[in-house]
């Protein structure tokens, strides 16, 4: 897909709550990757699903407080329904989709093909007749799934080399009419010139589906960098329940935003312990090849 934008990276939080230090670290990395490669850096709020009042404003304020800046405007997915509907409508018109009436439980309980991953869509509704679809529509509304013509797809990742992941007939639009995550992010990235996606490595398995959909839509898949997660003291995914992990909670315990950026920089090998840094200084020091490849174990401040 052609567009009139210069290349860009992005950070795309979901406004379901306050960002914790793991989210902030990923945002720092996303900007470092973008700015050090002379890309624009964009901010997108992924608000198609759970939205907590005030979360978007607090998230953007916290990102600014630690020194991040981005190219305006901030994109809201909730304002882009027409763009998603247009893409989905085109795929439907081309016969590249089918209606699906399965619940999550039915998919999990259905027998799958040998070697198919747990939870992969088993193709239950793929070849229904029109009469069968009409009967099922009386029971529940349909989701729209992509009619995939591959079972796997390979992406190239700056930190993880080549990664091949499973591709099934994944959902493009949920049965309540909401565009699915995999569809929305692909459309948004292409529309805004994003050719570099930096995010947590828990999303690495999503990349093959998204890159495959991008190629089906005539877009060039972005360059990926899936960065190590931040874990708690038990080596489990960091969460707000782990103690003072948000900027507001840390501030209450005497750790200001400047110190939080310094902590993140130390964890990335970009600063000495206690050194005060700025995003500009970190950009000059940044080298993807020198990044730690192991998760950062964050000892949250409790109490």
The 71-76 sheet, strands edge to edge: 8-11, 40-45, 71-76
State the CB neighbour count (10 A cutoff) for residue 234: 8
Q: Binding site membership for L-glutamate: which residues? A: 10-14, 46, 181, 199
The annotated binding site for Zn(2+) is made up of 100, 102, 121, 125
143, 92 contact by CB (below 8 A): no
Instruction: Return the pLDDT at 114.
Output: 57
Query: Structure tokens of 125?
Result: 């509704």
Provide the residue ranges of all domains of the chain, joining segments of one domain with +: 8-79+228-297, 80-227
Binding residues: 10-14, 46, 100, 102, 121, 125, 181, 199, 240
What pLDDT was estimated at residue 195? 98
Reference 295, options 232, 248, 249; nearest CA is: 232
Instruction: Give the span between the Cα atoms of 248 and 254, in whole angstroms.
Output: 10
What's the CATH number for 8-79+228-297?
Answer: 3.40.50.620
Q: What is the pLDDT of residue 2?
A: 43
Identical topology for domains 8-79+228-297 and 80-227: yes
Burial of 31 (0-12, 13-18, 19+ CB in 10 A): buried
Nearest to 267 by CA among 26, 5, 13, 14: 26
- Write out pLDDT tens, residues 120-152: 899 999 999 999 999 999 999 999 999 999 999
What average pLDDT is seen over the chain? 94
Residues 6+ apart with CB under 8 A from 185: 12, 46, 210
pTM of the model: 0.93
Cβ proximity of 27 and 63 under 8 Å? yes
Q: Which residues are known binding-site members for ATP?
A: 240
Domain 80-227 part of CATH 3.40.50.620: yes
């Amino acid at each position: 897909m052609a567009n009139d934008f210069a290349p860009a990276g992005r950070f795309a939080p979901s406004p379901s709550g306050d960002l914790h230090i793991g989210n902030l670290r990923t945002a720092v990395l996303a900007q470092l990757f973008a700015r050090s490669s002379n890309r624009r850096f964009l901010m997108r709020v992924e608000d198609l699903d759970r939205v907590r009042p005030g979360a978007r404003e607090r998230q953007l304020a916290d990102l600014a407080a630690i020194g991040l800046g981005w190219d305006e405007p901030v994109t809201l997915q909730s304002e882009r329904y027409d763009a998603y509907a247009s893409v989905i409508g085109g795929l439907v018109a081309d016969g590249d989709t089918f209606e699906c009436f399965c619940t999550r439980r039915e998919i999990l309980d259905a027998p799958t093909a040998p070697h198919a991953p747990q939870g992969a869509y088993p193709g239950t509704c793929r070849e229904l007749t029109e009469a069968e679809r009409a009967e099922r529509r009386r029971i529940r509304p349909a989701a729209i799934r992509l009619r995939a013509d591959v079972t796997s797809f390979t992406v190239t990742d700056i930190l993880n080399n080549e990664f091949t992941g499973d591709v099934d007939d994944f959902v493009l639009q949920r049965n309540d009419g909401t565009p699915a995550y995999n569809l929305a992010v692909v459309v948004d990235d292409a529309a805004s010139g994003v050719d570099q996606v930096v995010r947590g490595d828990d999303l690495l398995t999503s990349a093959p589906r998204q890159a495959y959909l991008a190629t089906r839509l005539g877009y060039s898949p972005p360059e990926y960098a899936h960065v190590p997660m931040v874990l708690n003291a038990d080596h489990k995914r960091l969460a707000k329940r782990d103690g003072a992990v948000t900027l507001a909670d840390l501030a209450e315990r005497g750790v200001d935003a400047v110190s939080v950026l310094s902590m993140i920089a130390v964890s990335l090998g970009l600063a000495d312990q206690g050194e005060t840094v700025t995003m500009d200084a970190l950009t000059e020091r940044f080298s993807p090849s020198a990044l730690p490849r192991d998760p950062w174990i964050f000892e949250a401040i409790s109490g």
